[in-house]
Each structure stands twice: as C-alpha cells, then as structure tokens.
Amino acid sequence: MNRTEDLLKLRPKIKRIKHELASTAVEEFQNRTLRPILKLQHDILVSLFHSCLSRHKIPFEELNQDEKETLINLLFQKDLAYRNQSIGIVIGLFTLEEYKHFAQEPGTNTKRITTMLKQRIISTYTIA
C-alpha cells in the first residue's frame, strides 16, 4: 500500500454529496476532499477548539447562540495559532495530488477550509 491509498481508505463516505453534480473544480475539491477530511477529523478539531477556549478562559457554555457564533468567528480571525493548527489538521491528511491542487491557490483554499471549519464548529455548538 502507499500513502495515497491509505489516506483515501480512512475517509468516511458522505452519502448526501453527489460528486457528479459538482459544477466547478473548487466544489469538487470541497466535496471529494475537504468534507470527508473534516468529518474524519471532527473529534480532534473539537478537542482543539476546547483547548483554545480553555487557553483563553472563555466560559463558552454561558454564551447565547449569537455570542457563540461571534466568538467562533473572532477566534478564527484573532487566534492565528488556533486557526493554523485547525487548517494543519486538515492539510495533513491531503494526498500529494490534493496538496498540489491546494498549493495552486493557497489563499482561496485556506479561506474555504476556514469557512468550513467555522461552519462545523458553529453547527456543533450552537444548536438550541
């Protein structure tokens, strides 16, 4: 076996995504690569989020839903170590080909990963 095969086997299948419906290369990358990796890495991303809250001594449970969303967005903007670790958790599970695709437009792809990470954290912690 090689690294690419091993990484692809680890990834969960996401049934709701229709890969053939992706209209752009960006959407295809998001659906085939990013979503499965984010799902696979969910537990470690949640743990990293809790560590960030703890480091900043934030009483997250006491915040209302709007405050939680604002805080999550703020953490991704202001805490570069947290943001970069979160992105690294995703990038570390790219195949070489996926990394090459990512490296062609790192700014755009990093922004997409960050947006998806924020959405995942928000949906995990802001359910009423």
Has residue 18 got a pLDDT over 90? no
Has residue 35 got a pLDDT over 60? yes
In a domain, 90, yes or no: yes
In a domain, 16, yes or no: no
d(CA 91, CA 97): 12
In a domain, 24, yes or no: no
> Binning pLDDT at 50, 70 and 90, where does residue 27 land?
confident
Burial class for 10, CB neighbours closer than 10 Å (0-12, 13-18, 19+)? exposed
**What pTM does this model have?**
0.88
d(CA 105, CA 121): 24
Domain coverage including residue 72? 30-125
State how many domains the chain has. Answer: 1
